[in-house]
Structure 1
C-alpha cells in the first residue's frame, strides 16, 4: 500500500494552495521553558573588521552586526514541545495532515512512497541542520536529546545510522542510546522547538559539558588551536600551520587535529582551556562543548563567508565569541599575524 500524503502535499503547492504548516497538525503543545530576557554578551573584534567583510553567510550584514553588538536583555522565545498523531516518516520527511517537515535530503523521487509498515511512538530530536553539519548535531541535537528523555512518553528516536569516529564516542559519553529508524509510521510523535538560548537550553548545555569532563584530570591551558586543514566544506586558511605554530610558541597553545585526535583528547585539552581558536567551522564544536563558561571562541574567517552562526552556540554555552576576518576567499585566504595578535590582546583586556 502506498501513502498518498506526499503527492497531496506536492499537488497543493502546484495548484497554488497554501501549504499547511506542519506544526498546525499538533494535537498538543506545551511550554517547557517560558519566554524570558537573556543577557547576550557582545562579540569581540577589531574596529576595522566590518570593512573587511565582502559577503556574509546564513544572514545579512545587519544580522552579523546585531549578533556582534549583543544585548543586555534580549527577549528569548520559549522552548516548546509538540505532540502529533498519525504521522508518516518517509525518505527523511515527516508527513502530517497537509504539511511536511524535512529532516534530510530526499534520496528517492516519485509522487508516492510505500506506506511504512512499522508503527511506533517516540520523540525525534534530530534536525535538518544537525543532519547536515556535525557541529549542529553535537551542539543542538544532543541538547534536544535531553528533552526527548525527559518530556516524551516514547523513546528518543533518530533516523541517523550508527556511525564511528567522533560521533560514536560522543554518543557514548553523553549517554545517547536512541532507537534508530528508517521509514516508519508514528502513532504518536513528539517534536521540540529548541533553538532559543533560554535558561532551559543553557542549563542542558552545562549538563552535557559536565558529562564529558567528569572524572578527567584536566590541566589548565591558555588556549587550543583546532586545525581544520582540508576537512569539511572548503575553507582554506593558507597560513594555518604558521598560525598554529606561533600560538604554540608565543602563547603556550596546544594544537589539535580533527583527522588525528579522538574525542577524548579534544575534551581533555579544551575542557580546561581559556580560549579555542580556529577556522570557522564545525570542527570548533569540539572546543565549544568542552570549554568552560567564560572562555572565548576566536574564529578565523574568509572575507566572502562571514558568519556568526557559532556565536549563537557560544551564547548558549555562556562563552565569549570573537572573530578575525582575513583577506581572500574560502578557497584560499590569509589572516595576518599582527591582526590576530591585536585581537588576542583585545580578548585579554575584556577577559582579564
Structure 2
C-alpha cells in the first residue's frame, strides 16, 4: 500500500506470502505540450526521477507483487504499530510519548490502511478502498479510522461498496496482525480498481459529456489556482464542460456527472479521484499541477483504469499558481 512499511518492521513477520504475482504491463506515457516537463521543479510522494519515470513510461514495464505479512504480538499505540523496537506509523502521534504503557485490550485483525490513506482523502479513495478486499478476505478487516459522518463522501462510498470493517478505538494489542504491501501497480490491482468502478456504476446510466471540471478553490491543503474560475467558465462556454464543486455535491451526484465524461480536469488533488474512479476507459485525465508539487499518483490510478493522462504544469509555486488558457485548451486537443 502507499506508505510502504519499513524493512525493519516487515522483517519481523512470522509469515510472508504473495497475495498476487508481479506483472509485465503495457503503459502509455502522459500526453504533454512541448516544454511542460521543463516546468517541473519538485515532486511529492516520490523522488523527481521516479515521478518523471512514472509519467513518461512507455511500453512494457514490470510491476512487483502484492505482499501479505502476518505478525504476532504487535502493539498499536497512538496511531503507531510497535514490534520489538521497530515502528510503523499509521497516523501522526497526538501524544508526546509513544509506547509508555502497553495496551491491555487484545484483538486480531487485518489492516488495509496506511499513513498516506489516513492523511489524504484521495489516497483513501484510490488505495484504501482497493486494498479493503484483501483484508475482507481474511474475515478480520479492521481500521483505525473512526466512522465517518453519515453525510460525508466517505460514508456514502462505504455504503455503496458495502465496506464494513471493525473500527479500532484507542490503543490495542494485536495477538495476530495482517498487513499488505499493495504499492505495486500490478495486474491484480488493476483488476480490483476496475471492479470498484463497476460497482460504483452499477444501476446507473450516466449521460455522456465532453468533460467535467472539478473545482478545488481553497478547500484542502493550499493549492490555489488564481484563475480557476476563469478557466472553468471558458471550459463550460467553449467546450461544453460541466463545472462542479465537489464540496457541494454528493458522491452519487459526482459519479453520475463523471461516469461517462470524456475528460476530467481540475487542480491536482483528492477531489479529482471522485471523477477518475468512474470515468470511462480512454477518458482524458488532466490534473493542473503546481510546478513545485508535481505528482504521478493520479497517473498510476488512470493507468489502472485504461484512461489517458495529460501532463499540465502551471506557473507559480506549490501553493499559488496560474495556468494560461491556451495551455489547457491545446493540452485537451492532444486527446482528439
| TM-score under structure 1 length normalisation | 0.89
Separation of aligned partners in 1, 2:324 and 2:97:
51
Q: CA deviation at 1:112?
A: 3.8
1:21-55 deviation per Cα after TM superposition (whole angstroms, max 9, x unaligned) = 11111111111111221111111111111222233
Q: Corresponding residue for 2:245?
A: 257
Q: CA deviation at 1:111?
A: 5.3
- Is the aligned partner of 1:193 residue 2:181? yes
- Is the aligned partner of 1:178 residue 2:165? yes
Separation of aligned partners in 2, 1:145 and 1:297:
25
Richer in helix (by share): 1
1:50 to 14, 19, 37: 37
1:259-300 deviation per Cα after TM superposition (whole angstroms, max 9, x unaligned) = 201111111111111110000111111011111222121011
Return closer, same or farther for 1:120/1:42 CA change in 2, 3 Å cut-off.
Answer: same
Q: Corresponding residue for 1:12?
A: none
Write out aligned runs for 1:39-118 (5 A): 39-110=26-97, 112-118=99-105
Unaligned runs of 5+ residues in structure 1 are: 1-18
- Is the aligned partner of 1:28 residue 2:11? no
Q: Corresponding residue for 1:162?
A: 147
Separation of aligned partners in 1, 2:333 and 2:60:
27
Q: CA deviation at 1:345?
A: 0.9
Q: Corresponding residue for 1:132?
A: 119
Moved more, 113-122 or 264-273: 113-122
Give the secondary-structure state (helix, strand or coil) at the position aligned to 1:200.
helix
Q: CA deviation at 1:20?
A: 7.4
Separation of aligned partners in 2, 1:338 and 1:96:
54
Give the secondary-structure state (helix, strand or coil) at the position aligned to 2:231.
helix
Q: Corresponding residue for 2:207?
A: 219
Separation of aligned partners in 2, 1:111 and 1:142:
29
Aligned residues: 328
Q: CA deviation at 1:331?
A: 3.3
Give the secondary-structure state (helix, strand or coil) at the position aligned to 2:326.
helix
Decide whether the 8 Å contact of 1:21 with 1:98 is kept in 2.
no
1:147 to 128, 134, 137: 134
2:313 to 325, 330, 333: 325
Separation of aligned partners in 1, 2:7 and 2:134:
26
Decide whether the 8 Å contact of 1:44 with 1:68 is kept in 2.
no
| TM-score under structure 2 length normalisation | 0.93
Give the secondary-structure state (helix, strand or coil) at the position aligned to 2:229.
helix
Structure with larger Rg: 1
Write out aligned runs for 1:300-319 (5 A): 300-319=288-307
What RMSD in Å do the two structures reach over aligned CA positions? 1.5
